[in-house]
Amino acid sequence: MIQEIIAYKNIVTDIEELMSKSPFKKNYIIEKIGIPSPTFYRKLKTQTFTPDEMLSIARIISPEENFILELKADIEQGKLDLKNGDYITHEEMLAELKSKNLI
């Protein structure tokens, strides 16, 4: 646990540099995380972003990593759904789409 906390503190310390190296401008990041610009810059200066705000920033500046993590989570959910029998067959899906006049 201590190692993870130290790693998190290092990321908080380096977040401005990480944002500068990303292809996204700070204004875009500010808009996407939805906090006022003055608040963003104050938090950046004082390194007081909440963990949720840090996660939002990380998802924006590392879209490939975020996509991979979401894909892995979706695959795991799919495996769980399959194990629990929470699925429908191809034929059932076709019938549902036909009933809604989507095909």
pLDDT tens-digit readout, 16-55: 999 999 999 999 999 999 999 999 999 999 999 999 999 9
| Tally of CB atoms within 10 A around 30 | 18
| Tally of CB atoms within 10 A around 7 | 10
> What's this model's pTM, rounded to 2 decimal places?
0.73
Q: Which residue has the tokens 């908080």?
A: 12
